[in-house]
Amino acid sequence: MKLSVSAMRRRDLRRIMAIEDAVFPEPWSAAIFHSELALRAGRAYRVAREGRTVVGYFGLMFVGDEAHVTTVAVAVDHQHRGVGTELFLDAVRVALEHGARDISLEVAAGNERAQALYRRFGFAPVGVRKGYYQRTGEDALVMWAYDVDSPAYGERLAAIESQVRSRP
């Protein structure tokens, strides 16, 4: 599978909304994506494509030297194929380009696969937001990766990238 990651565009939203609806019990609306894309400063939204088809995406919000993952999703039929890893490699690079030292996110407490991916990237739980997901009542883990601008973290990223590139 050959993936490319590039800036999210409004024309990508039809496919993004299909992914959003399939993977989240509380999907964002198209209006939320439109408003986020309109905020050029302090935001970065990118999509992963296989050929011309959007198969995943992420969003980042920047405040000072911190980045926050606002959303990340992979199409159901592309999960467990390395798309999430590719997206996160790109997300960290984008965060670093924006001067981030630390990155945070929330993840459903029961989403162990996503948590495993985030741990691979050095994220660790620091707290719980009780009942964060209104529709399901599920808690969210708050996870942070600190010092992503350090040489040690750079080595972590290089190791992950090396593993990705060595796959057949």
Active site residues: 106, 118
Q: What's at 145, amino acid-wise? A: A
- What the block records as the tokens of 32 is 């939320």
Distance CA 144, CA 100 (A): 12
DSSP of the chain: --EEEEE--GGGHHHHHHHHHHH-SSPPPHHHHHHHHH--TTEEEEEEEETTEEEEEEEEEEETTEEEEEEEEE-GGGTTTTHHHHHHHHHHHHHHHTT-SEEEEEEETT-HHHHHHHHHTT-EEEEEETT-STTT---EEEEEE--TTSHHHHHHHHHHHHHHHT--
